[in-house]
């Protein structure tokens, strides 16, 4: 039987291999082993974004935040932006940037979302009002 962190690592690898359904299985098993850790909920949220299950992803990120309010990677606005909840997405990335100020991806996403709200052209590609920004975090912090 794999331990919590082994399941997280294997699930992360599956996300990177575009296997989100299989990754979710690993994260669910990790949650069963330790439901008091935020990582598995956040990573399951990333996998659900890959499946375009945005509301379910938001629920996972919210659960991760309840477990650890200082877990920057749980303040993930891409699912909210995909549902055109731009102000909520901006709030998430503002919080994430405060928690992890040196992580440039959060800053970039924040600028892109602010540009969408103000009607300016975002730096990332946006299609039909949807925020199409890659949601996968850098492995530097994972």
Residue 132 confidence class, pLDDT cut points 50, 70, 90: very low
Tally of domains in the chain: 2
- Same domain? For 19 and 86 the reply is no
Query: For position 17, which CATH number holds?
Result: 1.25.40.10
Half-sphere exposure of 119 (CA within 13 A, CB side): 0
* DSSP H or E segment with residue 130: strand 130-131
- Tell me, what DSSP letter sits at residue 131? E
Domain extent for 86: 77-132
Mean pLDDT calculated for residue range 25-44: 98
Segment 79-112, tens digit of pLDDT: 999 999 999 999 999 999 999 999 999 999 999 9
- Same domain? For 110 and 70 the reply is no
- Same domain? For 70 and 11 the reply is yes
Task: Say if 95 falls within a structural domain.
Answer: yes
Taking 3-state DSSP, the helix, strand and coil percentages for the chain, each rounded to the nearest 5, stand at 65, 5, 30
DSSP string, 75-86: ---HHHHHTT-H
Residue 8 near residue 43, CB atoms below 8 Å: yes
- Same domain? For 70 and 3 the reply is yes
* Domain closes at, from 37, 54, 74: 74
For residue 40, give the nearest of 52, 28, 56 by alpha carbon: 28
- Same domain? For 50 and 102 the reply is no
Q: How many CB atoms are closer than 10 A to CB 98? A: 11
What distances in angstroms separate CA 123 from CA 86, 103, 111, 120, one per listed residue?
Answer: 15, 17, 8, 9
- Same domain? For 56 and 88 the reply is no
For residue 53, give the nearest of 44, 63, 41, 62 by alpha carbon: 44
pLDDT score at 123: 59
């Amino acid at each position: 039987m794999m331990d919590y962190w082994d399941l997280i690592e294997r699930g992360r690898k599956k996300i990177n291999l575009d296997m989100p359904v299989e990754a979710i299985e690993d994260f669910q098993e990790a949650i069963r082993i330790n439901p008091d850790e935020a990582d598995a909920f956040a990573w399951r949220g990333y996998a659900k974004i890959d499946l375009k299950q945005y509301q379910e992803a938001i629920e996972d990120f919210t659960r991760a935040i309840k477990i650890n309010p200082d877990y920057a990677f749980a303040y993930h606005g891409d699912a909210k932006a995909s549902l055109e909840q731009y102000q909520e997405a901006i709030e998430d990335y503002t919080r994430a940037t405060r928690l992890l100020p040196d992580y440039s991806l959060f800053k970039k996403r924040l600028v892109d979302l602010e540009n969408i709200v103000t009607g300016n052209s975002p730096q990332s590609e946006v299609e039909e009002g949807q925020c199409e920004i890659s949601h996968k975090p850098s492995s530097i912090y994972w």
